[in-house]
Amino acid sequence: MNLKFITHIARFIVAITYMFSGFVKLVDPIGTAIKFEEYFSEDVLNLTFLIPYVLPFSILLILVELLLGVLLLVGFKPKLTTWSVALLMFVFLFLTWYSAYYDKVTDCGCFGDAVKLSAWGTFYKNVFFTALIIILLFNIKYIKPWFGKLAANWIPFTTLLGGLFITYYVLQHLPIIDFRPFAIGNSIPKGMEFVDGEDFPPIHDFILENDTDDLTEEVLTADKALLIISYSLELGEINAFENFKELGDQALEKGYKLYVLSASLMETYNEIQDYYNLPFEFLYCDETALKTMIRANPGIITLEKGIIKGKWNWTDVDEVVLN
């Protein structure tokens, strides 16, 4: 097996992996932002001053990762592209080593929610890809455009435009692919069951409470339930609740039970409820669980006996389907 062939194999594997990693995060940039918030927290890297910028930072990094994979695959400016790929991998290598060695972040989010790896598994994966990239660095002369120079220029440009469009769409609506256990069609009660070999069930920390009682079972066994999800009422789009009054009235007529789930204080919701005359009951839930449920603040979910039948961003309230 000659060196040129080995270089082509390494180039293809690295490029496809970068593209896949970038794409599965591109369809859910808020999920990546949440992961960066975890990395920047005081207990991990202690870069809390960056937390307000996690969403633009995540979008930038996702697009860079996706583009670098495409650039490497098509052979655009091989030297610049290969060194850029190497630089990004060295950053990933350090972060995953740090996370694994100090047991700081158990899931790096390298492949979003599509593929889950252990902390050490992620680090060893990056060691393998670092070795492939080193092969590329020493054999840049073999990296040539596979589809011609014109394609090498236009394919990355088209990828960037497509990436920007997808980013805009999913931020205005919801992720176009939902890899989380709260995807449409999934059963929440089933997701709360333990799986052999796993420390936690796919859905955990999902407890719905009011001031006095645990109402999780009541919500998950209801024939039909309409949930407004707002992990933080203070940070959410409060004006969206103006439209929830009509939605709630329509749902009541169709036999739905109505709930607002939030990690905020009940007193905060009471002010909103009084102002908009909302027919929803407030239930407290863990903030992380709510962020996992839906990438919107607020968002809308319909359930039938605990099975997720529909999910919408508050911007799509007019498209909510009530059976």
- Residue range 140-175, pLDDT digits in tens: 999 988 877 788 889 999 999 999 999 999 999 999
Specify the DSSP element, H or E, that contains 274. helix 266-276
Report yes or no on 180 lying in a domain: no
Q: Considering the domain boundaries, does residue 292 fall inside one?
A: yes
Per the structure, the complete domain to which residue 51 belongs is given by: 3-172
**Residue 302: CB partners within 8 Å, gap ≥ 6?**
224, 225, 226, 227, 256, 308, 309, 310, 320, 321, 322, 323
277/216 Cα distance (integer angstroms): 24
Residue 177, in any domain of the structure: no
Domain limit, last residue, from 143, 172, 201: 172
> pLDDT by residue (tens digit) across 89-136?
999 999 889 888 888 777 777 877 888 888 888 899 999 999 999 999
Same domain, 156 and 212: no
Residue 182 lies in a domain: no
**282: in domain:** yes
Does residue 234 fall inside a structural domain? Answer: yes
Same domain, 65 and 108: yes
- Answer yes or no: do 115 and 199 share one domain: no
Co-location of 91 and 218 in the same domain: no
Tabulate helix, strand, coil % of the chain (nearest 5): 55, 10, 35
167 plus 269 within the same structural domain: no
The pLDDT value given to residue 1: 62
Q: Which of 172, 204, 222 is the last residue of a domain?
A: 172
Q: Can you give the pLDDT at residue 276?
A: 93
Residues 125 and 48 in one domain: yes
Which residues are bridge partners to 281 per DSSP?
259
> What domain count does the chain have?
2
Closest listed residue to residue 178, CA positions, set 18, 286, 315, 299? 299
Which residue numbers in the chain have pLDDT < 50?
Answer: none
Count of CB atoms within 10 A of residue 240's CB? Answer: 20
Choose the final residue of a domain: 148, 172, 196. 172
- pLDDT for res 151: 82
Query: Quick one: 73 and 139 in the same domain?
Result: yes
Q: Residues 121-136, buried b or exposed e (16+ Cβ, 10 A)?
A: ebbebbeebbebbebb
- Asked whether residue 111 falls in the same domain as residue 70, the answer is yes
Is 178 inside a domain boundary?
no
Q: What per-residue confidence (pLDDT) applies to 268?
A: 93
pLDDT reported for residue 119: 83
